[in-house]
Amino acid sequence: MRYLAIAALIAAGPAFADGVNIAPGIASVTVETPSGPVEISRIQDVENVVTGEWAKTSRPCPNFCIQPMSPAEGVTTIGELELIAFLQDPEVTVVDSRTPDWYLGGTIPGAVNMPYTEMTDRLGELGCELDFEGWECAEARKVAMFCNGLWCGQSPEAIRRMIDAGYPAERIFYYRGGMQSWRVLGLTVTQPGG
Protein backbone atom coordinates (compact mmCIF):
# COMPACT_ATOMS: atom_id res chain seq x y z
CA MET A 1 0.00 0.00 0.00
CA ARG A 2 2.76 2.44 0.95
CA TYR A 3 4.63 1.71 -2.29
CA LEU A 4 1.50 2.25 -4.38
CA ALA A 5 0.92 5.64 -2.74
CA ILE A 6 4.51 6.69 -3.41
CA ALA A 7 4.28 5.41 -7.01
CA ALA A 8 1.15 7.53 -7.49
CA LEU A 9 3.04 10.49 -6.06
CA ILE A 10 5.86 10.01 -8.56
CA ALA A 11 3.35 10.27 -11.39
CA ALA A 12 1.66 13.31 -9.81
CA GLY A 13 3.51 16.30 -11.14
CA PRO A 14 6.06 17.78 -13.50
CA ALA A 15 9.76 17.93 -12.71
CA PHE A 16 11.86 21.06 -12.76
CA ALA A 17 14.82 20.46 -15.09
CA ASP A 18 17.57 20.93 -12.51
CA GLY A 19 15.39 22.30 -9.73
CA VAL A 20 14.88 21.44 -6.12
CA ASN A 21 12.37 18.62 -6.55
CA ILE A 22 10.30 16.79 -3.93
CA ALA A 23 11.64 13.44 -5.18
CA PRO A 24 13.30 12.29 -8.43
CA GLY A 25 11.00 13.38 -11.23
CA ILE A 26 8.51 15.14 -8.91
CA ALA A 27 8.69 18.91 -8.79
CA SER A 28 5.27 19.52 -7.29
CA VAL A 29 1.91 18.04 -6.41
CA THR A 30 -1.47 19.72 -6.08
CA VAL A 31 -3.72 19.08 -3.10
CA GLU A 32 -7.30 20.19 -2.49
CA THR A 33 -7.91 22.49 0.46
CA PRO A 34 -11.07 24.25 1.68
CA SER A 35 -9.73 27.37 -0.07
CA GLY A 36 -9.14 25.55 -3.36
CA PRO A 37 -6.19 23.70 -4.88
CA VAL A 38 -2.70 24.39 -3.53
CA GLU A 39 0.52 23.35 -5.20
CA ILE A 40 3.13 21.83 -2.89
CA SER A 41 6.70 22.25 -4.03
CA ARG A 42 10.07 23.03 -2.49
CA ILE A 43 11.62 26.48 -2.36
CA GLN A 44 13.80 26.77 -5.47
CA ASP A 45 16.40 29.13 -3.93
CA VAL A 46 19.35 26.84 -3.12
CA GLU A 47 20.64 29.53 -0.72
CA ASN A 48 17.43 29.48 1.35
CA VAL A 49 17.84 28.76 5.07
CA VAL A 50 15.39 28.18 7.89
CA THR A 51 15.35 31.04 10.38
CA GLY A 52 13.49 32.10 13.48
CA GLU A 53 11.54 29.62 15.59
CA TRP A 54 12.10 26.77 13.13
CA ALA A 55 15.91 27.08 13.26
CA LYS A 56 15.98 26.60 17.05
CA THR A 57 17.66 23.30 17.93
CA SER A 58 17.30 23.22 21.72
CA ARG A 59 14.21 23.59 23.84
CA PRO A 60 13.89 22.70 27.52
CA CYS A 61 12.69 19.20 28.33
CA PRO A 62 10.08 18.97 29.72
CA ASN A 63 7.92 20.05 27.89
CA PHE A 64 9.89 19.89 24.64
CA CYS A 65 11.38 16.41 24.86
CA ILE A 66 12.42 14.35 21.83
CA GLN A 67 9.49 12.13 20.92
CA PRO A 68 9.72 8.38 20.34
CA MET A 69 9.59 7.07 16.77
CA SER A 70 6.12 5.69 17.45
CA PRO A 71 3.83 7.34 20.01
CA ALA A 72 1.78 4.17 20.61
CA GLU A 73 1.68 0.51 19.65
CA GLY A 74 0.02 -0.07 16.29
CA VAL A 75 0.54 3.51 14.99
CA THR A 76 2.61 3.82 11.80
CA THR A 77 5.21 6.59 11.59
CA ILE A 78 5.52 8.21 8.16
CA GLY A 79 7.74 10.66 6.29
CA GLU A 80 7.11 13.49 3.88
CA LEU A 81 6.42 11.40 0.76
CA GLU A 82 3.80 9.33 2.56
CA LEU A 83 2.22 12.48 4.00
CA ILE A 84 2.06 14.09 0.55
CA ALA A 85 0.39 10.94 -0.81
CA PHE A 86 -2.13 11.09 2.06
CA LEU A 87 -2.84 14.76 1.28
CA GLN A 88 -3.92 13.64 -2.19
CA ASP A 89 -6.09 10.79 -0.89
CA PRO A 90 -9.70 11.84 -0.13
CA GLU A 91 -10.04 8.82 2.19
CA VAL A 92 -7.42 10.23 4.61
CA THR A 93 -7.75 13.23 6.93
CA VAL A 94 -4.47 15.02 7.63
CA VAL A 95 -4.66 16.66 11.05
CA ASP A 96 -2.55 19.51 12.37
CA SER A 97 -2.95 18.77 16.08
CA ARG A 98 -1.24 21.95 17.26
CA THR A 99 -2.97 24.70 19.19
CA PRO A 100 -4.64 27.38 17.03
CA ASP A 101 -1.87 29.95 17.57
CA TRP A 102 0.70 27.60 16.01
CA TYR A 103 -1.71 26.58 13.23
CA LEU A 104 -2.44 30.19 12.27
CA GLY A 105 1.32 30.77 11.93
CA GLY A 106 1.39 28.38 8.96
CA THR A 107 0.46 24.79 8.23
CA ILE A 108 0.78 22.04 5.66
CA PRO A 109 -1.64 22.64 2.75
CA GLY A 110 -4.78 20.52 3.12
CA ALA A 111 -4.37 19.85 6.85
CA VAL A 112 -7.28 20.52 9.19
CA ASN A 113 -6.68 21.93 12.65
CA MET A 114 -7.90 19.71 15.48
CA PRO A 115 -5.95 20.81 18.57
CA TYR A 116 -4.66 17.94 20.69
CA THR A 117 -6.67 19.28 23.63
CA GLU A 118 -9.91 18.75 21.66
CA MET A 119 -9.23 15.41 19.93
CA THR A 120 -11.42 13.19 22.10
CA ASP A 121 -14.31 15.63 21.71
CA ARG A 122 -14.01 15.72 17.90
CA LEU A 123 -13.74 12.04 16.96
CA GLY A 124 -17.14 12.33 15.28
CA GLU A 125 -15.41 14.38 12.55
CA LEU A 126 -13.19 11.35 11.87
CA GLY A 127 -15.95 8.75 11.46
CA CYS A 128 -16.58 7.70 15.06
CA GLU A 129 -20.05 7.73 16.61
CA LEU A 130 -20.87 8.64 20.17
CA ASP A 131 -22.74 5.95 22.08
CA PHE A 132 -23.66 5.41 25.72
CA GLU A 133 -20.26 4.00 26.61
CA GLY A 134 -18.11 6.52 24.70
CA TRP A 135 -16.94 6.43 21.09
CA GLU A 136 -17.66 3.64 18.62
CA CYS A 137 -14.97 3.85 15.94
CA ALA A 138 -15.53 0.85 13.64
CA GLU A 139 -15.90 3.26 10.69
CA ALA A 140 -13.02 5.55 11.67
CA ARG A 141 -11.18 7.28 8.84
CA LYS A 142 -7.46 6.93 8.27
CA VAL A 143 -5.82 9.94 9.87
CA ALA A 144 -2.29 11.33 9.54
CA MET A 145 -1.26 13.59 12.41
CA PHE A 146 1.56 16.06 12.97
CA CYS A 147 2.62 18.91 15.22
CA ASN A 148 5.76 21.08 15.42
CA GLY A 149 8.51 18.49 15.09
CA LEU A 150 10.60 15.79 16.67
CA TRP A 151 10.45 17.59 20.02
CA CYS A 152 6.71 18.34 20.00
CA GLY A 153 4.42 16.23 22.17
CA GLN A 154 1.07 17.60 20.92
CA SER A 155 0.31 14.98 18.25
CA PRO A 156 1.71 12.06 20.31
CA GLU A 157 -0.55 13.13 23.19
CA ALA A 158 -3.53 13.44 20.81
CA ILE A 159 -2.82 9.98 19.39
CA ARG A 160 -2.68 8.37 22.82
CA ARG A 161 -5.93 10.09 23.84
CA MET A 162 -7.63 8.93 20.62
CA ILE A 163 -6.59 5.32 21.20
CA ASP A 164 -7.74 5.48 24.83
CA ALA A 165 -11.12 6.72 23.56
CA GLY A 166 -11.45 3.75 21.18
CA TYR A 167 -9.87 4.94 17.92
CA PRO A 168 -8.11 2.04 16.13
CA ALA A 169 -4.34 2.55 16.29
CA GLU A 170 -3.84 0.93 12.88
CA ARG A 171 -5.84 3.79 11.28
CA ILE A 172 -3.49 6.44 12.73
CA PHE A 173 -0.33 7.61 10.97
CA TYR A 174 2.20 9.88 12.70
CA TYR A 175 4.31 12.39 10.75
CA ARG A 176 7.00 12.73 13.41
CA GLY A 177 9.01 15.40 11.56
CA GLY A 178 6.12 17.84 11.75
CA MET A 179 6.33 21.48 10.75
CA GLN A 180 10.01 21.83 11.52
CA SER A 181 11.06 19.06 9.10
CA TRP A 182 8.49 20.26 6.53
CA ARG A 183 9.99 23.76 6.67
CA VAL A 184 13.60 22.52 6.71
CA LEU A 185 12.85 20.77 3.41
CA GLY A 186 11.47 24.02 1.99
CA LEU A 187 8.02 22.58 1.32
CA THR A 188 4.99 24.83 0.78
CA VAL A 189 3.35 26.26 3.91
CA THR A 190 -0.06 27.94 3.84
CA GLN A 191 -1.47 30.61 6.15
CA PRO A 192 -4.98 29.57 7.24
CA GLY A 193 -7.57 32.23 6.65
CA GLY A 194 -5.00 34.30 4.75
- Per-residue pLDDT tens for 125-158? 999 999 888 899 999 999 999 999 999 999 999 9
Architecture of domain 48-184: 3-Layer(aba) Sandwich (3.40)
Could you read off the pLDDT of 144-193 as tens digits, one per residue? 999 999 999 999 999 999 999 999 999 999 999 999 999 999 999 999 86
- pTM of the shown model: 0.90
Cβ-based neighbours of 76, under 8 Å, separated by 6 or more:
70, 170, 172, 173, 174
Residue 2 is predicted with a pLDDT of 52
Candidates 128, 137, 147, 152; catalytic one: 147
Residue 40 is predicted with a pLDDT of 97
Rg (CA), the chain: 17
Buried b (16+ CB within 10 A) or exposed e, 84-96: bbbbbeeebbbbb
- The gap between the terminal CA atoms of the chain, to the nearest Å, is 35
Confidence tier at 41 by pLDDT (50, 70, 90)? very high
Confidence tier at 96 by pLDDT (50, 70, 90)? very high
Is 147 among the catalytic positions? Answer: yes
Displacement of CA 1 from its chain's centroid (Å): 18
